[in-house]
């Protein structure tokens, strides 16, 4: 990752290298520019703030994961493909784990700053699902993205503390999360389907009720008007 030595990639890589040894609030924009060998003006042309640099890192991880994704087997389920995509993501981020751990620790107590990454985090899970071949149209797609984002957030915290080479704890947490999420999604989709049927029935009953009134009005003869003098 970051093989292209553009100013943008230099800045992202420099940021993660500094964050590996410093608290996130001690990593300043001038420090990043110096470490990347850039002018501060060059850094500003590429990014608006430090959170913007983290969003660029997320996007680069997305692209690297999608490039490394294995071709799906014909009998492989969407769930198993999502599992592979997320584990590939952790593999790609492995060299940056110390920096990500410091950054995550800092943002955990600062929800306002963490919220700046919400859209890019949702976007990252959208791409993981897309790479796995999941359906992403309509309300069901939004539910899948939101659900995977919640699962990923919990598993990410496990991954940060998982020191085993095979990431056993991470894989177990991801497997449990996907299984539970799959069950909840099935239940929710069934509930939505039942609600839609109920709405159709209510709509049909209301329409029938008013059609009955309309027929009654049409069959009632008009009252005679006043007699003329």
Q: pTM for the complete prediction? A: 0.78
Closest to 106 (Cα-Cα) out of 42, 164, 24, 166: 24
Q: Domain with 70 in it: what CATH number?
A: 1.10.357.10
Domain annotation covers residue 93: yes
Domain enclosing residue 106, as ranges: 7-192
Q: How many domains does the chain have?
A: 1
Q: How does pLDDT run across 148-168, given as a tens digit for each residue?
A: 999 999 999 999 999 999 999
54: Cα separation from own chain's centroid: 15
In this predicted structure, the answer to whether residue 229 has a pLDDT above a threshold of 50 is: no
Domain annotation covers residue 227: no
Q: How does pLDDT run across 167-220, given as a tens digit for each residue?
A: 999 999 999 999 998 776 555 555 545 555 656 666 665 666 556 655 555 555
Helix H, strand E, coil C: the string for the chain is CCCCCCHHHHHHHHHHHHHCCCCHHHCCHHHHHHHHCCCHHHHHHHCCCHHHHHHHHHHHHHHHHHHHCCCCCCCCCHHHHHHHHHHHHHHHHHHHHHHHHHHHHHHHCCHHHHHHHHHHHHHHHHHHHHHHCCCCCHHHHHHHHHHHHHHHHHHHHHHHHCCCCCCHHHHHHHHHHHHHHHHHHHHHHHHHHHHHHHHHHHHHHHHHHHHHHHHHHHHCCCCCCCCCC
When pLDDT is averaged across residues 17-40 and rounded to a whole number, the result is 96
Domain annotation covers residue 133: yes
Q: How does pLDDT run across 57-94, given as a tens digit for each residue?
A: 999 999 999 999 877 777 889 999 999 999 999 999 99
């Amino acid at each position: 990752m970051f093989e292209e030595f553009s100013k943008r990639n230099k800045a992202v890589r420099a940021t993660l290298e500094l964050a590996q040894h410093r608290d996130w609030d001690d990593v300043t924009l001038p420090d990043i520019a110096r470490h990347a060998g850039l002018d501060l003006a060059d850094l500003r042309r590429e990014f608006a703030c430090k959170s913007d640099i983290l969003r660029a890192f997320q996007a680069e991880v997305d692209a690297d994961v999608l490039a490394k994704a294995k071709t799906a087997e014909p009998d492989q389920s969407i769930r198993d493909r999502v599992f592979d995509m997320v584990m590939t993501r952790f593999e790609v981020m492995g060299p940056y784990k110390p920096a990500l751990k410091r950054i995550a620790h800092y943002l955990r107590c600062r929800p306002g700053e963490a919220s700046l990454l919400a859209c890019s985090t949702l976007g990252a899970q959208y791409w993981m699902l897309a790479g796995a071949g999941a359906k992403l149209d309509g309300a069901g797609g939004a539910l899948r993205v939101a659900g995977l984002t919640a699962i990923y957030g919990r598993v990410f915290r496990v991954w940060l503390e998982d020191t085993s080479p095979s990431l056993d704890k991470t894989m177990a947490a991801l497997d449990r999360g996907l299984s539970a999420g799959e069950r909840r999604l099935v239940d929710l989709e069934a509930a939505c389907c039942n609600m839609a049927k109920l709405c159709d029935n209510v709509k049909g009953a209301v329409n029938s009720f008013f059609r009955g009134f309309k027929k009654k009005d049409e069959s009632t003869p008009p009252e005679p008007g006043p007699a003329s003098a």
